[in-house]
Amino acid sequence: MQEALNMKKVGFAVVGIGNIGKRHLAVLEKEKHAEIVALCDKDKHIAEEYGRKYNVPYFFSYQKMLKKIDCDIVNICTPHYFHAPMTIAASNAKKHILVEKPMALTSRDCQRMIAAANKNNVKLMVVKQNRYNVPIALAKKVLEQGKLGKIFMVEVNVFWNRNDAYYSSSPWRGRKQMEGGSLYTQVSHFIDLLIWFFGDIKKAKTVIDTKNHDITIEDCGSSIVTFTRGVLGVINWTTCVYRTNYEGSITIIGENGTIKIGGQYLNTIDYWDVASFPLPKDIQYNDRPNTYGQYQGSSSNHDKVMNDVIVAISGKKSTVVDGSEGLKTVRAIELMYRNTKH
């Protein structure tokens, strides 16, 4: 890709140097077409430590960074509730944006973000790195080719461990106003993929509960959903699994085939029986998890996202997820939480 692009390096500024911001920096450092031009964290120690590490100007104030720095794009890696205001501010400063998932906490905010990007003629892109997982890309291919025939049902299980240290290590985690709920954090990866496969969620019946953490959001939930293409879905999630992540899976039941993508984070194919598309023998399962010390997150394909972002900025056709697609997940989450009592 880099040879083919023939362009000057894209200048990235990163805001929020927490678990995922550090991963963005590590990926950008290795990406030949990227240059880290600045970073920002409201925690002065973190900003200084990483500013020194990458030898770039560092800021404690986001507004100040936007004013002072000449970058092409801002990567927004702060907690969910900052995604909308920080995206809008970057748009108004004429910077492209790569915002972490979830795009925002409300569909209204997503629409404001899209409007700001359009008004300022900048690109708004959302991190959805699981789309690049080897098993997911293969499932998407057979679905697009219609190999499974009519799809009847899909089941998703997000059975993960997030311990007390996870919730207490950052002030926004587990707090309704700032995090919204586990659907925004852990499950949004899966909801994006389901919508990508089967269309928008148009109906949902959900039950949620908090069983094992001192938090104001749910740590267990189950939702029965219907997609626009008629598929019936069951989505189960918890962050209460003992000790470690147990499973992150999607099982698709079709007229001409059955697929279970599993492992802990959609990294293996646990079952594949597709009438006219046998599982390729040479498949390489090379997706790795993001590892953050006290817990393991979703897949670490941020390098592929960054590649696609650079392609998009160069004006070429890219598969990176844009604001309108990011909005679909947030809209589905709002629908799933509607009428839940907690």
Ligand X SMILES: NC(=O)c1ccc[n+]([C@@H]2O[C@H](COP(=O)([O-])OP(=O)(O)OC[C@H]3O[C@@H](n4cnc5c(N)ncnc54)[C@H](O)[C@@H]3O)[C@@H](O)[C@H]2O)c1
Contact status, residue 306 vs residue 297, Cβ threshold 8 Å = no
Specify the residue, 254 or 290, whose C-beta has the smaller distance to ligand X.
290
The answer to whether 129 contacts ligand X (rule: CB under 6 A) is yes
Q: How far does Cα 289 stand from its chain's mean position?
A: 13
Q: What are the CB-based long-range contacts (under 8 Å, 24+) for 335-339?
A: 335/201, 335/202, 335/203, 335/204, 336/183, 336/191, 336/201, 336/204, 336/206, 336/223, 336/225, 336/235, 337/181, 337/183, 337/206, 337/208, 338/204, 339/206
Do β-strands 151-159 and 232-238 pair in parallel, antiparallel, or remain unpaired? Answer: parallel
Pick from 15, 66, 89, 90: which binds ligand X (CB under 6 A)?
A: 15
With a CB cutoff of 8 Å and minimum separation 6, the contacts of 198 are 151, 154, 227, 228, 229, 231, 233
Specify the residue, 148 or 187, whose C-beta has the smaller distance to ligand X.
187
Specify the residue, 179 or 272, whose C-beta has the smaller distance to ligand X.
179
Binding mask 64-83 for ligand X (x = CB under 6 A): -------------xxxx-x-
**How many residues make contact with ligand X (CB under 6 A)?**
27
Pick from 10, 13, 14, 19: which binds ligand X (CB under 6 A)?
A: 19
Q: How far does Cα 170 stand from its chain's mean position?
A: 19
The answer to whether 38 contacts ligand X (rule: CB under 6 A) is no
Omega within 30 of 0 (cis) for the link into 102: yes
Pick from 12, 54, 58, 62: which binds ligand X (CB under 6 A)?
A: 62
Question: At closest approach, how far in Å is the CB of 177 from ligand X?
Answer: 14
Pick from 10, 14, 16, 206: which binds ligand X (CB under 6 A)?
A: 16
| Site stretch for ligand X (CB under 6 A), options 10-18, 153-161, 221-229, 265-273 | 10-18
Question: At closest approach, how far in Å is the CB of 275 from ligand X?
Answer: 34
Give the DSSP H or E segment for 153: strand 151-159
Q: How far does Cα 215 stand from its chain's mean position?
A: 22
Specify the residue, 151 or 183, whose C-beta has the smaller distance to ligand X.
183
Specify the residue, 99 or 252, whose C-beta has the smaller distance to ligand X.
99
Quote the CA–CA distance of 267 and 288 in Å, as a whole number: 8
With a CB cutoff of 8 Å and minimum separation 6, the contacts of 309 are 10, 73, 98, 125, 318, 320
- Site residues for ligand X, 277-316, by CB under 6 A, read 290, 297-298
In the complex, which residue's CB is closest to ligand X? 18
Specify the residue, 22 or 272, whose C-beta has the smaller distance to ligand X.
22
Specify the residue, 74 or 148, whose C-beta has the smaller distance to ligand X.
74
The answer to whether 17 contacts ligand X (rule: CB under 6 A) is yes
Pick from 18, 57, 199, 289: which binds ligand X (CB under 6 A)?
A: 18
Q: How does 206-245 read in b/e, with b if 16+ C-beta sit within 10 Å?
A: bebebebbebebbbbbebebbbeeebbbebbbbbbbeeeb
Specify the residue, 151 or 219, whose C-beta has the smaller distance to ligand X.
219
- Site residues for ligand X, 140-199, by CB under 6 A, read 170, 185
Question: At closest approach, how far in Å is the CB of 230 from ligand X?
Answer: 30
Site residues for ligand X per CB under 6 A: 15-21, 40-43, 46, 62, 77-80, 82, 100-101, 127, 129, 170, 185, 290, 297-298
